[in-house]
Amino acid sequence: MNLKLIKASAEYKKQISDMLDEWYGTGEKIIPYSIRRIDYHDFEYYCDNLEIKDASGSLVPDSTFFCLDTDRNIVVGAVNIRHFLNESLLLNGGHIGDGVVPSERRKGIATAMIGLALQECRKLGIERVLMVCDKDNIGSAKSIINNGGVLENEICVDGVIEQRYWIDIK
């Protein structure tokens, strides 16, 4: 399996739409939030507005990438990288939000995708990355740990125990 991170563009409209159609069809909450924040059916608008450019309120500038399996020419997941942490993201959210479409889970994609996202973080000058996951999401925790994540603590957010991991990428 050969994976690479791509930006949303007309070139990948079919692959991104197919992934989102499948994911929405499951009724499951799609993570990262950035890829469900706006409707993808107007794809040009979606591409133009996918990323936050300026800090405002609880939002910070970010970069969103889709994970393309180049061997099969399908999009299997997505990552959203927040360029810096505000108070809210420092508590719960972190630098990287990631998700793999349900049909592609348990194949090592999340671990590989996070590794690729960490390379993008380096390009942004981020040296220490915070990643957060629900305590009961064992697969997510393993993917973070496999990329060097060290558990700092657990916090309760809206009745859900969240684990906070730091990854040093200097």
The domain segmentation of the chain, as residue ranges, is: 3-126
Fold of 3-126: Aminopeptidase (3.40.630)
What distance in Å separates the CA atoms of residue 145 and residue 25, rounded to the nearest whole number? Answer: 30
What distance in Å separates the CA atoms of residue 110 and residue 137, rounded to the nearest whole number? Answer: 12
Q: Which residues of the chain have pLDDT under 70?
A: none
What is the predicted pLDDT for the residue at 154?
A: 96
What is the predicted pLDDT for the residue at 123?
A: 96
Bridge partners of 129?
167
Whether the pTM exceeds 0.85: the reply is yes
Closest CA to 36 of 88, 124, 108, 101: 101
What is the predicted pLDDT for the residue at 84?
A: 95
Residue with tokens 């925790």: 141
What distance in Å separates the CA atoms of residue 29 and residue 53, rounded to the nearest whole number? Answer: 24
Left, alpha or beta for 93 (phi > 0: left; psi -120 to 50: alpha)?
left
